[in-house]
Amino acid sequence: MRMWIVFLLCLAGHAMAAPVSHTVCVCETEVGANPVQVEVGEFDEAIEVVEDVVAENPCLNHHCKKGKVCEVDESNTPMCVCQDPSTCPVAEGEFEHVCGTDNKTYDTSCHFFATKCTLEGTKKGHKLHLDYIGPCKYLEPCMDNELNEFPLRMRDWLKNVLVTLYERDEDNNLLTEKQKLRVKKIYENEKRLQAGDHSLDLLAHDFEKNYNMYIFPVHWQFGQLDQHPVDGYLTHTELAPLRAPLIPMEHCTTRFFEQCDADNDKYIALEEWATCFGIKERECRLSTSSTHKHVHDRPTRLNICRCRNEALYCQISKPEMRRSGSIILPMFSL
Protein backbone atom coordinates (compact mmCIF):
# COMPACT_ATOMS: atom_id res chain seq x y z
CA MET A 1 0.00 0.00 0.00
CA ARG A 2 1.39 3.34 -0.95
CA MET A 3 0.53 6.56 0.75
CA TRP A 4 0.14 9.95 -0.66
CA ILE A 5 -0.22 13.48 0.19
CA VAL A 6 -0.26 16.69 -1.53
CA PHE A 7 0.60 19.36 -0.95
CA LEU A 8 -0.30 20.33 -1.83
CA LEU A 9 -1.37 20.85 1.13
CA CYS A 10 1.61 19.56 2.44
CA LEU A 11 0.12 20.11 -0.70
CA ALA A 12 0.13 20.91 -1.90
CA GLY A 13 0.69 19.63 -2.56
CA HIS A 14 5.27 24.09 -5.12
CA ALA A 15 7.67 21.01 -4.61
CA MET A 16 8.37 20.85 -5.28
CA ALA A 17 7.73 27.29 -5.87
CA ALA A 18 4.59 33.56 -4.20
CA PRO A 19 3.28 35.13 -1.43
CA VAL A 20 1.79 32.07 0.34
CA SER A 21 3.19 28.47 0.70
CA HIS A 22 3.21 24.26 1.95
CA THR A 23 5.32 20.68 1.08
CA VAL A 24 5.42 16.12 0.72
CA CYS A 25 7.65 12.99 1.18
CA VAL A 26 8.33 9.33 0.95
CA CYS A 27 7.69 7.27 4.06
CA GLU A 28 7.91 3.49 4.15
CA THR A 29 5.17 3.26 6.76
CA GLU A 30 1.57 2.15 6.93
CA VAL A 31 -0.74 4.91 5.88
CA GLY A 32 -4.33 5.70 6.56
CA ALA A 33 -4.64 7.29 9.96
CA ASN A 34 -1.07 8.57 10.24
CA PRO A 35 -0.85 12.37 10.65
CA VAL A 36 0.94 14.91 8.56
CA GLN A 37 2.68 17.54 10.66
CA VAL A 38 3.01 20.97 9.10
CA GLU A 39 5.61 23.35 10.45
CA VAL A 40 5.07 27.03 9.78
CA GLY A 41 7.70 29.19 8.13
CA GLU A 42 10.72 26.92 8.65
CA PHE A 43 11.93 27.10 5.07
CA ASP A 44 9.80 29.86 3.58
CA GLU A 45 11.61 31.94 1.00
CA ALA A 46 8.61 34.09 0.16
CA ILE A 47 8.53 35.62 3.66
CA GLU A 48 11.22 38.17 4.37
CA VAL A 49 11.05 40.05 7.65
CA VAL A 50 12.96 43.31 7.45
CA GLU A 51 13.42 45.11 10.75
CA ASP A 52 14.48 48.73 11.13
CA VAL A 53 18.11 48.08 10.30
CA VAL A 54 20.39 50.28 8.25
CA ALA A 55 20.89 48.42 4.97
CA GLU A 56 24.64 48.82 4.54
CA ASN A 57 24.79 45.88 2.19
CA PRO A 58 22.69 46.40 -0.99
CA CYS A 59 22.12 42.64 -1.10
CA LEU A 60 20.06 42.71 2.09
CA ASN A 61 16.93 43.67 0.16
CA HIS A 62 17.84 42.13 -3.19
CA HIS A 63 16.03 38.85 -3.89
CA CYS A 64 17.53 36.14 -6.11
CA LYS A 65 15.74 33.06 -7.38
CA LYS A 66 16.70 29.54 -6.29
CA GLY A 67 20.21 28.59 -7.35
CA LYS A 68 21.51 32.16 -7.28
CA VAL A 69 23.02 34.39 -4.61
CA CYS A 70 23.47 38.13 -4.42
CA GLU A 71 26.82 39.81 -4.92
CA VAL A 72 27.79 43.45 -5.47
CA ASP A 73 29.83 44.70 -8.39
CA GLU A 74 32.53 47.37 -8.35
CA SER A 75 29.91 50.14 -8.20
CA ASN A 76 28.28 48.46 -5.19
CA THR A 77 25.25 47.45 -7.26
CA PRO A 78 23.61 44.15 -6.25
CA MET A 79 23.38 41.40 -8.83
CA CYS A 80 22.42 37.71 -8.81
CA VAL A 81 25.04 35.13 -9.72
CA CYS A 82 24.96 31.34 -9.72
CA GLN A 83 25.65 29.79 -6.34
CA ASP A 84 28.58 27.42 -6.04
CA PRO A 85 27.06 24.00 -5.20
CA SER A 86 29.92 23.39 -2.77
CA THR A 87 28.65 26.25 -0.59
CA CYS A 88 25.27 24.54 -0.03
CA PRO A 89 24.62 23.14 3.46
CA VAL A 90 25.34 19.44 3.86
CA ALA A 91 22.25 17.22 3.84
CA GLU A 92 21.10 16.15 7.30
CA GLY A 93 19.80 12.88 5.94
CA GLU A 94 18.44 11.03 2.94
CA PHE A 95 15.11 12.82 3.33
CA GLU A 96 16.76 15.97 1.91
CA HIS A 97 17.92 14.26 -1.30
CA VAL A 98 16.15 15.13 -4.56
CA CYS A 99 16.11 13.45 -7.95
CA GLY A 100 16.55 15.45 -11.14
CA THR A 101 15.08 14.68 -14.54
CA ASP A 102 18.61 13.65 -15.49
CA ASN A 103 18.09 10.66 -13.14
CA LYS A 104 20.82 11.97 -10.85
CA THR A 105 20.45 12.23 -7.07
CA TYR A 106 21.40 15.60 -5.57
CA ASP A 107 22.23 15.99 -1.88
CA THR A 108 19.71 18.81 -1.38
CA SER A 109 17.47 21.05 -3.44
CA CYS A 110 20.13 23.74 -2.95
CA HIS A 111 22.69 21.57 -4.75
CA PHE A 112 20.20 20.87 -7.52
CA PHE A 113 19.22 24.49 -8.22
CA ALA A 114 22.82 25.69 -7.96
CA THR A 115 23.82 23.06 -10.54
CA LYS A 116 20.90 23.97 -12.81
CA CYS A 117 21.94 27.62 -12.65
CA THR A 118 25.44 26.83 -13.92
CA LEU A 119 23.81 25.17 -16.94
CA GLU A 120 21.66 28.17 -17.89
CA GLY A 121 21.67 28.84 -21.60
CA THR A 122 22.50 25.23 -22.48
CA LYS A 123 20.24 22.52 -23.88
CA LYS A 124 20.95 20.35 -20.85
CA GLY A 125 20.05 23.12 -18.46
CA HIS A 126 16.79 23.84 -20.29
CA LYS A 127 15.70 20.22 -19.94
CA LEU A 128 16.84 19.80 -16.34
CA HIS A 129 14.06 19.96 -13.75
CA LEU A 130 13.52 18.72 -10.22
CA ASP A 131 11.71 15.44 -10.81
CA TYR A 132 10.82 14.30 -7.30
CA ILE A 133 11.71 14.40 -3.62
CA GLY A 134 14.07 11.69 -2.41
CA PRO A 135 16.92 9.78 -4.03
CA CYS A 136 16.44 8.52 -7.57
CA LYS A 137 14.99 5.02 -7.73
CA TYR A 138 13.26 2.62 -10.09
CA LEU A 139 9.61 3.53 -10.67
CA GLU A 140 7.24 0.87 -11.93
CA PRO A 141 5.39 1.59 -15.19
CA CYS A 142 1.89 2.99 -14.75
CA MET A 143 -0.76 0.69 -16.19
CA ASP A 144 -3.94 2.04 -17.78
CA ASN A 145 -6.19 0.71 -15.01
CA GLU A 146 -3.96 2.30 -12.37
CA LEU A 147 -4.05 5.62 -14.21
CA ASN A 148 -7.86 5.57 -14.13
CA GLU A 149 -7.78 5.09 -10.34
CA PHE A 150 -5.51 8.06 -9.63
CA PRO A 151 -8.11 10.90 -9.78
CA LEU A 152 -10.53 8.91 -7.58
CA ARG A 153 -8.14 8.93 -4.64
CA MET A 154 -6.80 12.41 -5.20
CA ARG A 155 -10.23 14.04 -5.37
CA ASP A 156 -11.16 12.43 -2.05
CA TRP A 157 -7.84 13.47 -0.51
CA LEU A 158 -8.22 17.12 -1.55
CA LYS A 159 -11.70 17.21 -0.07
CA ASN A 160 -10.50 15.81 3.26
CA VAL A 161 -7.50 18.15 3.40
CA LEU A 162 -9.83 21.14 3.13
CA VAL A 163 -12.15 19.70 5.79
CA THR A 164 -9.18 19.21 8.13
CA LEU A 165 -7.98 22.77 7.56
CA TYR A 166 -11.48 24.04 8.29
CA GLU A 167 -11.61 22.07 11.55
CA ARG A 168 -8.28 23.39 12.77
CA ASP A 169 -8.38 26.95 11.46
CA GLU A 170 -8.88 28.56 14.88
CA ASP A 171 -6.73 31.62 14.11
CA ASN A 172 -7.98 32.13 10.53
CA ASN A 173 -4.49 31.48 9.20
CA LEU A 174 -5.31 28.61 6.89
CA LEU A 175 -8.40 29.59 4.89
CA THR A 176 -9.99 32.86 3.89
CA GLU A 177 -13.51 33.64 5.07
CA LYS A 178 -14.92 32.92 1.61
CA GLN A 179 -13.05 29.61 1.44
CA LYS A 180 -14.32 28.67 4.89
CA LEU A 181 -17.90 29.29 3.80
CA ARG A 182 -17.41 26.95 0.84
CA VAL A 183 -15.79 24.23 2.94
CA LYS A 184 -18.37 24.62 5.72
CA LYS A 185 -21.06 23.34 3.35
CA ILE A 186 -19.00 20.22 2.73
CA TYR A 187 -18.14 19.79 6.41
CA GLU A 188 -21.73 20.00 7.60
CA ASN A 189 -23.16 17.79 4.88
CA GLU A 190 -24.38 14.55 6.50
CA LYS A 191 -23.80 12.68 3.26
CA ARG A 192 -20.07 13.46 3.27
CA LEU A 193 -17.86 10.40 2.97
CA GLN A 194 -15.64 10.42 6.05
CA ALA A 195 -11.86 10.20 5.68
CA GLY A 196 -10.54 6.65 5.49
CA ASP A 197 -9.08 3.92 3.31
CA HIS A 198 -12.05 3.38 0.98
CA SER A 199 -12.44 1.04 -1.96
CA LEU A 200 -12.24 2.47 -5.46
CA ASP A 201 -15.85 1.44 -6.12
CA LEU A 202 -17.01 3.45 -3.09
CA LEU A 203 -14.97 6.49 -4.13
CA ALA A 204 -16.42 6.35 -7.64
CA HIS A 205 -19.95 5.97 -6.28
CA ASP A 206 -19.52 8.88 -3.87
CA PHE A 207 -18.19 11.14 -6.62
CA GLU A 208 -21.26 10.40 -8.71
CA LYS A 209 -23.67 10.75 -5.77
CA ASN A 210 -22.08 13.82 -4.12
CA TYR A 211 -20.47 15.43 -7.17
CA ASN A 212 -20.86 19.01 -5.91
CA MET A 213 -18.63 18.33 -2.89
CA TYR A 214 -15.63 17.75 -5.14
CA ILE A 215 -15.82 20.81 -7.41
CA PHE A 216 -14.34 23.37 -5.02
CA PRO A 217 -11.46 21.17 -3.69
CA VAL A 218 -10.25 20.51 -7.25
CA HIS A 219 -10.30 24.20 -8.18
CA TRP A 220 -8.83 25.19 -4.81
CA GLN A 221 -5.74 23.04 -5.45
CA PHE A 222 -5.27 24.60 -8.88
CA GLY A 223 -5.40 28.06 -7.31
CA GLN A 224 -2.81 27.05 -4.71
CA LEU A 225 -0.39 26.10 -7.48
CA ASP A 226 -1.10 28.86 -9.99
CA GLN A 227 1.20 31.51 -8.52
CA HIS A 228 3.95 32.56 -10.96
CA PRO A 229 2.04 34.33 -12.46
CA VAL A 230 -1.65 33.89 -11.68
CA ASP A 231 -2.80 33.30 -15.25
CA GLY A 232 -4.95 30.16 -15.34
CA TYR A 233 -2.09 27.91 -16.47
CA LEU A 234 0.29 25.63 -14.57
CA THR A 235 3.91 25.37 -15.65
CA HIS A 236 6.25 22.53 -14.69
CA THR A 237 7.66 24.75 -11.93
CA GLU A 238 4.26 25.68 -10.52
CA LEU A 239 3.17 22.04 -10.52
CA ALA A 240 6.32 20.89 -8.73
CA PRO A 241 5.13 21.42 -5.10
CA LEU A 242 2.38 18.86 -5.72
CA ARG A 243 4.02 16.61 -8.29
CA ALA A 244 7.51 16.15 -6.85
CA PRO A 245 6.46 14.75 -3.44
CA LEU A 246 3.88 12.40 -4.98
CA ILE A 247 6.05 10.64 -7.55
CA PRO A 248 8.02 8.41 -5.10
CA MET A 249 4.74 7.28 -3.52
CA GLU A 250 2.51 7.06 -6.57
CA HIS A 251 4.16 5.86 -9.76
CA CYS A 252 1.29 7.11 -11.96
CA THR A 253 1.84 10.76 -11.00
CA THR A 254 3.99 11.68 -14.01
CA ARG A 255 1.76 9.96 -16.54
CA PHE A 256 -1.36 11.50 -15.00
CA PHE A 257 -0.11 15.09 -15.28
CA GLU A 258 1.25 14.45 -18.76
CA GLN A 259 -2.23 13.29 -19.74
CA CYS A 260 -3.74 16.44 -18.23
CA ASP A 261 -1.80 18.50 -20.78
CA ALA A 262 -4.21 17.47 -23.52
CA ASP A 263 -2.80 19.79 -26.20
CA ASN A 264 0.80 18.96 -25.24
CA ASP A 265 1.84 22.61 -25.02
CA LYS A 266 3.77 22.14 -21.73
CA TYR A 267 1.07 24.03 -19.79
CA ILE A 268 -1.95 22.69 -17.93
CA ALA A 269 -4.88 25.08 -18.33
CA LEU A 270 -7.61 25.23 -15.70
CA GLU A 271 -10.01 23.58 -18.17
CA GLU A 272 -7.55 20.72 -18.72
CA TRP A 273 -7.02 20.36 -14.97
CA ALA A 274 -10.75 20.14 -14.30
CA THR A 275 -11.24 17.59 -17.07
CA CYS A 276 -8.51 15.39 -15.57
CA PHE A 277 -10.47 15.24 -12.32
CA GLY A 278 -13.81 14.64 -13.99
CA ILE A 279 -15.21 18.13 -13.37
CA LYS A 280 -17.71 19.14 -16.02
CA GLU A 281 -16.96 22.01 -18.38
CA ARG A 282 -19.89 24.07 -17.08
CA GLU A 283 -18.57 24.09 -13.50
CA CYS A 284 -15.09 24.87 -14.80
CA ARG A 285 -16.31 28.01 -16.60
CA LEU A 286 -18.34 29.15 -13.61
CA SER A 287 -15.45 28.82 -11.19
CA THR A 288 -12.67 30.20 -13.40
CA SER A 289 -13.16 33.78 -12.25
CA SER A 290 -13.69 32.91 -8.58
CA THR A 291 -10.60 30.72 -8.56
CA HIS A 292 -8.33 33.67 -9.42
CA LYS A 293 -10.36 36.73 -8.44
CA HIS A 294 -9.28 36.61 -4.81
CA VAL A 295 -5.89 35.00 -5.27
CA HIS A 296 -4.17 37.56 -3.05
CA ASP A 297 -6.63 36.79 -0.26
CA ARG A 298 -5.25 33.29 0.13
CA PRO A 299 -3.76 33.19 3.63
CA THR A 300 -1.63 30.11 3.19
CA ARG A 301 0.40 28.15 0.70
CA LEU A 302 1.58 24.55 1.04
CA ASN A 303 5.10 23.53 0.04
CA ILE A 304 7.10 20.32 -0.17
CA CYS A 305 6.95 18.06 2.86
CA ARG A 306 9.81 15.85 3.98
CA CYS A 307 9.70 12.68 5.97
CA ARG A 308 11.34 12.53 9.39
CA ASN A 309 10.78 9.99 12.12
CA GLU A 310 7.74 8.52 10.36
CA ALA A 311 6.01 11.90 10.17
CA LEU A 312 5.67 14.43 7.38
CA TYR A 313 7.02 17.88 8.16
CA CYS A 314 5.63 20.45 5.77
CA GLN A 315 6.17 24.12 5.18
CA ILE A 316 3.18 26.39 5.48
CA SER A 317 3.33 30.16 5.24
CA LYS A 318 1.43 33.38 4.88
CA PRO A 319 2.82 36.88 4.16
CA GLU A 320 2.20 38.29 7.63
CA MET A 321 3.34 35.21 9.60
CA ARG A 322 6.15 35.87 12.04
CA ARG A 323 5.94 32.75 14.20
CA SER A 324 6.15 28.99 13.97
CA GLY A 325 3.26 26.58 14.40
CA SER A 326 1.93 23.23 13.29
CA ILE A 327 -1.21 21.51 12.06
CA ILE A 328 -2.18 17.86 11.66
CA LEU A 329 -3.40 16.86 8.21
CA PRO A 330 -4.78 13.52 6.98
CA MET A 331 -2.74 10.97 5.06
CA PHE A 332 -4.23 8.50 2.64
CA SER A 333 -3.06 5.36 0.88
CA LEU A 334 -2.52 5.24 -2.85
Instruction: For residue range 87-129, list pLDDT tens digits in order.
Output: 999 999 888 999 999 999 999 999 999 999 999 999 999 999 9
For Cα atoms 245, 275, 161, give the angle at the middle one, nearest 5 degrees: 45
pLDDT band at 58 (very low <50, low <70, confident <90, very high): confident
Q: Give backbone dihedrals phi and psi of 274, rounded to 5 degrees, phi first.
A: -65, -40
CA dist., res. 118 & res. 111, Å (int): 11
pLDDT at 4 over 70: no
What is the arithmetic mean of pLDDT over 295-314? 46
Query: Quick one: pLDDT at residue 207?
Result: 92
Mean pLDDT of the chain: 76
At residue 285 the predicted structure's pLDDT band, cuts being 50, 70 and 90, is low
Q: What's the gap between Cα 74 and its chain centre?
A: 40
What's the mean pLDDT in 261-277? 93
Mapped onto helix, strand or coil, the DSSP state of residue 327 is strand
Q: What's the whole-number mean pLDDT along residues 53-73?
A: 84
Lowest mean pLDDT among 167-176, 181-190, 235-244: 167-176
H/E stretch holding 305: strand 301-308
Q: What CA dihedral angle connects 236, 117, 81 and 62, to 10 degrees?
A: 20
Which comes out higher in pLDDT, residue 126 or 327?
Answer: 126
* Mean pLDDT (whole number) for 44-58: 54
Residue 60 φ/ψ, nearest 5 degrees: -60, -35
Q: Is the pTM above the cut of 0.85? A: no
The Cα–Cα gap between 152 and 201 comes to 9
**Domains, the chain:** 3-48+142-333 (1.10.238.10)
pLDDT tens-digit series, residues 224-240: 999 888 889 999 889 98
pLDDT higher than threshold 90 for residue 169: no
CA 319, chain centre distance (Å): 17
More confident residue, 1 or 127: 127
DSSP type of residue 194? P
Angle separating helix axes 177-187 and 144-168, nearest 10 degrees: 110
Of residues 293 and 250, the one with the higher pLDDT is 250
Would you place residue 246 in the very low, low, confident or very high pLDDT band (cuts 50, 70, 90)?
confident
> Other CB atoms closer than 10 Å to residue 142's CB: what's the count?
18
